[in-house]
Structure 1
Amino acid sequence: MESRQRYLSSINAALRPSKWRASYEELVTKNVQTVGQIESALRSLTYIIPGRYRDSELPSEVVHSGVQILSLYHDSLVSKAIAKLPPTVRRPHPTPHARYTKYWTSRSSFYHKVALTLQTIQYTELLWEMIARRRGEKIRWRVIVFIEIVKAICRLILMRLTNSRPLVSPPLPEREQDPRALEEHESDWNGMDTPASEGSDMSWTMPRTGLSLPSLPDTNDISNYLISKVLTADDVKPPKALLHRVTGQGQLAEILYIIRPVIYALAMQRWSGNKRSWSPWLIGFALEYGSRQLAKKDLKERVAGGLRGLTGLERDELRKRGWAMGWWLMRGAFYENITKAWLKSVTNKLKNKPFLDILGGLLEDYEYLWDDYYFSTATL
């Protein structure tokens, strides 16, 4: 009887969800590079599937959204694994974005929950639009406007939690290095600032202690070695100082930037019967361009040194937003009246040409996304 109870208890323990989860977490943290390669392969697959067969966009987007959400979970696992490493293990110097987002996620659990909600919505918004479209155009536009309102509320909350600092994209820390690689690097470290190189003629083992002196950097690479050890002004700043607080016209610019997608979606809903109407496009573009110019003007007047006095994180965010404005070429009336005809002419020219016809085929397959789905070109 006792042996039977032990057998049943062992089966229950093996089937316990917590044990499966622990095994999965260990698998991910010990194979970070392999997991990353699998994620990239699945994402690439979702870029190829659309247009290959009827109604292929929905299963393709299900896979893409699932991979993106799973990547968020994997990011948290890797971050926890690195945090649990012994203090003696040297961590790589984090990027300004990682320092800033880690500071707020560790300081405020509410910030982490809101940022996670925002990221999840962004990863699944196109999928919800595809599902809603099957219920009709009215339902589709209601869902689009609702999603944009929820995202705007999340961004306004994040702005409030960071004491009126601009948003960063993404609002959560990105995946760090492989914790296993850090441990292996630490095992080869000789206690000095340079790792001992195997088989190097410059290394020397002390006969009494058995310790080896570190190898010197290559004489041809001394400048790069020294530069890599220099701390910049951003490196010594506290994380929250990596973004200046916005007030006055700067705060107005950030709020306009946040609510622009809501106003644009409402305008698109209003003129949904006429895709070629320029009114929604002009409203949306004017709001985004105006908020950008207002923000730059505020930074020039308020920050010491103007735009040259910006931190690296602020410059990166401005650059991202600048590049994102290029997607206005693929939206609304600009796409319907100008870009669409140009793309068709390009795809026609690429047909029946070696290698180039593959690119033409991909462009042709994606035309229906740009034609029919709002979130296919959303950047915020």
Structure 2
Amino acid sequence: MLGKIKDVYENALLESSSTLTTVESTLRQLTWFLPGRFEDAEIASEGLYSALSIIGIYHDSLIAKRLDQIPSLPPSPFPVVHTYTSPPIESNPSDRLISGCSSTSSAEAWSARQKIPRPSDHSRYTRHYCQTSPTYNRASRILVFIQYVQLLTEMVVRKKRGDKKRWQVLLWLEGIKSSLRLIMLGVTRRPLLNSPIPGREVDPSLLPSKTPRPDPLAADLEESLPDLPNIPALSPAPLHSHVLPLSDALPETLQSPAQELLPRLRGTKEWIGETMHATEGLVCVLTYIWVAHRQQRQGLRPGRGSISPTVPASWSLANLAQSTPTTSLIPLIYILVSRLLRRQPIRGDEGMTSLLADTYAERDNNLVWYLVRGSIWQRFTRPKAMGLLNALDKVWGLNLIATLVRDHVDLVDDLYYCEP
């Protein structure tokens, strides 16, 4: 029963794939307007966003499955003639798929394939390891699942159990995430990607509603003549129009190995740098917990600067960030050291592939998020942002935007995983 429901859902989803992206994007945009609208609206909004993200992984697998069913080679331009004089010739599996389909369906499928962009280097690399390494596949998908539910988990634990319990849960989450990254690092022995699984790069509306089905007449003929080779007739064929599209869309089996898109780590320095990158989140959470314990031992109230042995230190994120610049200083130093230990771009270095350069550039760009985290946010960025919002409140038509942004500022103050 469940299998039938699953098949019906998958078929309905792929047949109406043009509406898939529209529905998902509309629901995700709705989550931006929910915070502050009613009690526990933030939890409801993040729960909806997490559910959509997890379902999106399943939808991506369906799209990838449908994409694999589309032939990567065009139908043969030669008519097939059977003869009894030669021994059988083993054909390529993808060629058998195309030759076994009706000419109309295979031509339509090839036409759809030409409209679909080639997979990116990131997609090829991650798909290769997800398909060839069960350990990498499980570790990467568990990591992505945790990343989708970590903010929701923090919200629920903070509301139900308080700030101190929240930091204990965050320590467990970051410990598990760091362990999973180290497992993937051990499997690949190559730099870690920010997104360890292939993402959706194909517009679902470009997929054909039906995949090419085998021609029953051709199948019966192959069964009746199992040992006969296929010999192309010596009649003219449109070779130019047939072969030319293949120059820009070679099958993946004819391209360079996917694992070579990222170079292997070389030397102890690169291994240490990549290990530090894998544990950045764990070090950041440990810094907050260390600051809280130090203040608790000293009896110092965060943000007040007065000694009060009878009042315990607050474990709230805002108070810890305001009390000392250590909450931003230690993680930033740790990250910058890991950047110095990684492979540096050198002219003529063949190991600096485009995928590696993009990965390093994305890591460097992510440093901007530290403007909205820790003491940098509380002492520098937040006062300037609030001043701008107060100015927008006085402008007619922009006060609504200021109110919406202010609701999210409160979330950034209170939640570790919340980023604008």
Secondary structure of 2:196 counterpart: coil
Following superposition of structure 1 onto structure 2, how do residues 64-83 of structure 1 map, counting pairs within 5 Å?
Answer: 64-83=49-68
Identity %: 31
Match of 1:3 in 2: none
Following superposition of structure 1 onto structure 2, how do residues 194-233 of structure 1 map, counting pairs within 5 Å?
Answer: 229=248
TM-score (norm 1): 0.78
Say if 2:69 and 2:211, in contact at 8 Å, map to a contact too. Answer: no
Counterpart among 290, 310, 325 of residue 278 in structure 1: 325
Task: Point out which structure has higher relative CO (alpha carbons under 8 A, 6+ apart).
Answer: 2
Counterpart among 325, 329, 348 of residue 305 in structure 1: 348
Distance 1:116 1:148 in 2: 15
Give the structure with the higher percent helix.
1
Distance 1:180 1:342 in 2: 43
Counterpart among 363, 378, 381 of residue 336 in structure 1: 378
Distance 1:61 1:24 in 2: 25
Following superposition of structure 1 onto structure 2, how do residues 159-174 of structure 1 map, counting pairs within 5 Å?
Answer: 159-162=185-188, 164-174=189-199
Distance 2:375 2:385 in 1: 15
Distance 2:410 2:367 in 1: 21
Counterpart among 11, 15, 18 of residue 33 in structure 1: 18
Q: Which amino acid aligns with 2:193?
A: V
Distance 1:263 1:353, change over 3 A: same
Decide which structure has the larger Cα Rg and report it.
2
Distance 2:256 2:406 in 1: 48
Distance 1:181 1:263 in 2: 44
- Aligned-residue offset at 1:175: 1.7
Distance 1:184 1:81, change over 3 A: closer
- CA shift digits 1:185-230 (9 cap, x unpaired): 999xxxxxxxxxxxxxxxxxxxxx9x99999xxxxxxxxx99x949
Counterpart among 254, 258, 268 of residue 274 in structure 2: 254
Say if 1:104 and 1:111, in contact at 8 Å, map to a contact too. Answer: yes
Distance 1:184 1:373 in 2: 43
Secondary structure of 1:374 counterpart: coil
TM-score (norm 2): 0.71
> Is 1:147 aligned to 2:173, yes or no?
yes
Say if 1:29 and 1:180, in contact at 8 Å, map to a contact too. Answer: no
Distance 2:417 2:171 in 1: 11
Following superposition of structure 1 onto structure 2, how do residues 1-380 of structure 1 map, counting pairs within 5 Å?
Answer: 16-86=1-71, 87=94, 88=98, 89-90=109-110, 91=113, 92-134=117-159, 135-162=161-188, 164-178=189-203, 181-183=206-208, 229=248, 236-247=255-266, 248-272=268-292, 273=314, 274-276=320-322, 277-295=324-342, 298-300=343-345, 305-306=348-349, 310-377=352-419
- Aligned-residue offset at 1:257: 0.8
Q: Which amino acid aligns with 1:279?
A: T
Distance 1:96 1:275 in 2: 39
- Aligned-residue offset at 1:53: 2.4
Runs of 5+ unmatched residues, structure 1? 1-15, 188-208, 216-224
- Aligned-residue offset at 1:77: 1.0
Say if 2:263 and 2:351, in contact at 8 Å, map to a contact too. Answer: no
Secondary structure of 2:193 counterpart: coil
Say if 1:78 and 1:178, in contact at 8 Å, map to a contact too. Answer: no
Distance 1:342 1:156 in 2: 38
- Aligned-residue offset at 1:153: 0.6
- Aligned-residue offset at 1:182: 4.2
Secondary structure of 1:48 counterpart: coil
Secondary structure of 1:366 counterpart: helix
Distance 1:285 1:377, change over 3 A: farther
Secondary structure of 1:78 counterpart: helix
Say if 2:14 and 2:209, in contact at 8 Å, map to a contact too. Answer: no
